[in-house]
Every structure is written in structure tokens, then in C-alpha cells.
Chain A
Amino acid sequence: MVNEMKSIAVVGGGAGGLIFANTMAKEMSDDIRSGRLKIRIFDGSVHHEFQPGYLSVAFKGKNPATMRKYLSELVLPDVELIPENCSRVDIDNKYVVTEKTGKKFGFDEVIIATGSRPDYSQIPGLSQANHDFHTSASASAELFKRLEKIRWGRIVTGIAGLPYKCPPSPNESAFLLEEYFVRKKLRKDVKITFITPFLRSYSNETVNSVIEPMLKERNIEIITGFNLESVDPEKELLTSMEGESVPYDTLLLVPPHSGAPIFKGVEYADEDGWIKTDKYDLHVADYENAFAIGDATDLPISKAGVEAHLEAVVVAKNMISQMQGTGERYEFTGRLQCSMETGYHQATFVIGTYDRPIERIQPSLYNYFQKKLMERIYWASLKGGYEWLFKWHFGEDYYRKSGKEKPPMQTPKVQNV
């Protein structure tokens, strides 16, 4: 039970923000309903989209409407949704300011879950030339319409710059393109080229040893060490920083990503806007009352929904433990679990932790079904559903107990107005 009025601000309503807020709401509902605890989630988006589903929209023609729901439908009633983004998060003075109306909301604890977004400004010409299968369901649907018109030519897919979210996604695009044109009986007339700034088709050697032979077997051209500098949309030409050129007819690159612009220049973020985050308990810089989860962090792991999920659970469990005075502390294990569809109803996974190297996993139909299962349970998982399944699946990697005890919380100073 919370002894004094406490307010928690969750900045960002993506997977991490929603799972944190809804988990807190489920576990602390008595305190929320009695007015001792307030949880606000700030996000100006109308919809929340199931981002792994973009591939199915772009390369299989799935209806984009099935990949989105109203954000307001995904927030439990005990959580207050403020339908605005924040323009400022002042951790020292414990308040956020909303973007449109300029309202100020105080907090005792803040969770930064602002995700990542494509940053086309890094590569001149890319935004005009690119068909983005990676950023929205509607853009993915537009790409599928374009694919249906292609009869011949060279499609270049891959990685335009670092970092980016969902590391397997560029490889998946190559596999799914190949399958698409084989099924259309146009494969011999469509050249597929995969470019990457890494030295391998997949950045990690273990995963690469599984997928690179498959890409080669399917006659997908691989150009590694390609640091894209610019795109000439008129000449349909890519140029690398080293002066190499690659022509294209259709361009499908994953753009480099950056953190939320509001964090550029703040002392608790790096120069690119990624939040300085403790890799275990996820506190921000030297702050005890601020946490960051998901893509927004500077953690050296994949930017993907599963990390946001597991991090949200760790932060929620620690906060609940502290409020309930159990003294238990939990740590994020760094668990990765990114699925990679390799075409023809097969998939592999990228699985590892901070302490355990990435495993070698052969593609299989079983893995593919696991990936598809996630599509089925995703919306419920955002509300804290299927926790038993995730606990069972991730086992000791779901979270681990820590020896460290958090110091007592300072007296809350609620400044909301």
C-alpha cells in the first residue's frame, strides 16, 4: 500500500509504456482507486500499431487496419491517458510539459518510453526515394501496391544507417521479397540486392552463419560494408561514403533511427538523444526517480518490442516492491528475442542475454508459428495479459532478483496542476 500520494508519469504509449502502466494499474488498483496513486501516460498518437506486422502488410498484402488499434482502447481504466506528447521532461524539478497545450504535470517518478523514429535527415535523398516498409502500416500497404506492379528490375533493400529498430527486419525484407517474386513467377526478372554497413548479412556472426548461406542460395546479392552517404532519386543511384555506387529501380531501405527530439541536448541523454540508462535496473543517469525503457535507451541491445516489454516488467516490479515495502529488487537480464522470418513459413530467432551469447537457431515451421502466436496475443499482452505465458517462456531470463536494495524514496512532492 502507498502511504502518501504518489504520481507516476509515463512518457510514451508504445509497447513499453503501455505494459508498464497497465501492469502497475493491475497490481496497484486499490491504491489508484483510493487516490493514493496516480498513473498518467502521455502520448499524442491516436493509434498504436503492431510494428512486426508491417512485413506482412508490405510483402503479403495483409490489411493494414488489422495492425492498429486505438491507443485509448489499450489503456486500462485505472490509468489516465493524456492524449498529448511531452515537450519537456524535467527530472530535477519533477514535472513534464505537454506539447500542444503546454500543461505542466508533476510526478514523483517518471518512465521515459518515447521509442525511436526514422531519421531521414542523416541521408540526403533517402526520404524521396525510399519505400518504407518499416515505419507505418499505411506506408507498408503502399509498398505492397507498388510491388504488385513490378515485373522486372533491381530492388535494393537493407540497412541505410545505424542504429535502427528490429535488427532482423532488413533481412526479413530480402527473404520475403524473394518469396513474393518466386510465387509470382517473376524471380528471374527481378534482381534483389541487400546492402548493409556491417561486414556480414546479419551483424552477429552466429546468426549470420545461419542466414547468409540461405540468402546466397536464393540468389540474393549481398553488399557488405556499404556506408550509404546519399541517394540520387533522379538517377536512381546510391552512393557510399567511400564512393561506391549501386543503381536501383526500387528502394526499400530501413532508415537510421534517432531518439525523441526533446532529449537532444539534455544532460541525461547522449548527443543523439538516447537516454543514459542503467543496464540492470534501468534508472536514468544518476536519478533514482527516473527510468527509461525500450528503444529510447542507450542500452547496447536490440531496439525491439520484446526488450521494451521485459524492461517495463522489471521497472514495474521494482516500483511495486518498493511501494509495498517487500524490499525485493529485480534486474533486467538483457534478454533478446527477435524473430526473423526467412520465407516459406520458416523463421529463426535471435536469442541471447547480457551474459549469454546469441544462440544458433535453425529456421523452422515451429519458430514461424511462435512468431505468429505473438501476433495473436500482442494486444492482450499490452494490457498485462498472458504474463504466465511470458514467464514460462522466458524462464529465468524474464527478470532476475538483484542483491541491491533501493534507498528509501524521497517524500513525494506532487506538482501537477
Chain B
Amino acid sequence: MIGLKVASDRALLDALALLVDDLDPTPESVAVRARSALVERSSSDMITMRLLSDSVHAPGRPRELAFTGLDLRFDPVVGGWEVTGPARAGTSVVARWPGGQVTAAVAAGRFHVERVPFGPVRFVLRGADASGRDHVTPWFVA
């Protein structure tokens, strides 16, 4: 330990890198999920919706996010989230997560998704503009 105490900054950081690699390595499951991310890409002609607000700063209440095309309210259910909200345009909302998705109709300006799993998710608003293009949120951890 005395040797590390007097080591150069680079030597100390190199020792730290070796130790972290040994004690907290990147799990193989994380690398596998990373490698599979490429197949989850959306069509390149989708429009990305902008995040307007996120109630993450108000702990203890259901999380609510507002995007340019729709709002999302997350209420906990067994194994995931029930997601509801108004959609300001479009015919349906698709909730997507790695390896799965579910579609909900927009009725009277609102949609309801019974369950999305915990973890990364994104939402697609089908036919959201006059040209019929889809709008999509960025990926985020729900």
C-alpha cells in the first residue's frame, strides 16, 4: 500500500482500473444486451418527440412525462407499469421495449397500456402528423 501511496497519478489510476475490472467487471449479461441493441433501431423516417417535462423531481408521486405529441403517466402494477395519457394526435400508441411491444388505440384523445416491463422503453405515436409519419420518444428507463 505504501507503494501505491507514492506512485505516480497514472500508476495509481492504472491500479484502480485493474482492481475495478476485477471487483466490479461489466456483467456479461450487460454486454449481451448491448450487442443486441442494434436490432431495436426504429425506421429512420420517424420524428423524435421532444421531452417537455418530467416529474422525476417529485418523488412519491406517479411519474409523468410530457412529450411534444403525448403525455405518459406511469402507475406501478405487478411486474411493470400501467401507462396512460392523452395523445395530441395519431391513431395508436406503441409501447416498445427490447424484445417486445404492445399497441393501444387512441380513443377520444387518450390511450391506455395495461403493462410495460421495468427497464428501457420508448413510445411510438402512429400517424402523428399530416403526412402520416410516426413520432417516437427517445429511449428512457421507466
The answer to whether A and B interact is no
